[in-house]
Structure 1
Amino acid sequence: MNVTEILLIIGIICIIVSFFFKNSRKQADELEDISISLHQETNQLKKRLRAVEEELLIDVNPISPSKQLKTKPIHEIIVNQILSLHAQGYSITDIAKRSSLTNEEVMHVLQTRGVSSR
């Protein structure tokens, strides 16, 4: 083998190897592009979420206790428990503690059922 054949073989090997390195670089570039676009989309979603949160905070109105009584339904089982405890002689405070309601809610239930609170 003379020098020209050796150089020709080395050149062919270098060309073949260069194809593999170009593909890996292309994949790295694609991965980087995907990563950048994902980061940008995440930032856009965060901005939208902040805008929605701000809108919700602006529209929030404090609810008065009288509105809570009208809008918050009390389950029939709890109503029956309140009536039973009242019949047994428990105080409004004790009934409220046992039923996890406020004193006003217990009195409202008793009033709507026609029971006089003591």
Structure 2
Amino acid sequence: MNIAIILLIIGLISILASFFFGHSARNYEDELEKVSISLHQETSNLKKRLKVVEEELMVGVNPIPSARRSVRGHQRPSKSKPVHEIIVNQILSLHAQGYSIDAIAKRSSLSNDDVTVVLRSKGVVL
């Protein structure tokens, strides 16, 4: 037999087979769509839970003492800036890794004085 005739027969058989097995592929598409929807719903629920947890963490914000002192060495009455415990942990971690106070201040978006006060309050810098 000729190779072209064999290839033509194989092509016709595969087209006929696709009509019979095409419906099972449709079932897989439906299942995949259901899984995709449920994954989206679970992700949405996790985002909501994460938001609640973040709000609960923000409740524990404590003010740090001010680093500003007057000329005589007495503390000025000033507004203390609240520093979240997560940022305090970040400052301590960066200091333990050997970062300078300037680098820590840039990474934590605080002033150098605030970073120094946090480190002093934790007994790291004297």
The structure richer in helix per residue is 1
Give TM class, smaller chain.
0.3 to 0.5
Higher RCO (C-alpha under 8 Å, 6+ residues apart): 2
Instruction: Please report the TM-score for the alignment, with normalisation by the length of structure 1.
Output: 0.44
Structure number with greater Rg is 1
Instruction: Please report the TM-score for the alignment, with normalisation by the length of structure 2.
Output: 0.42
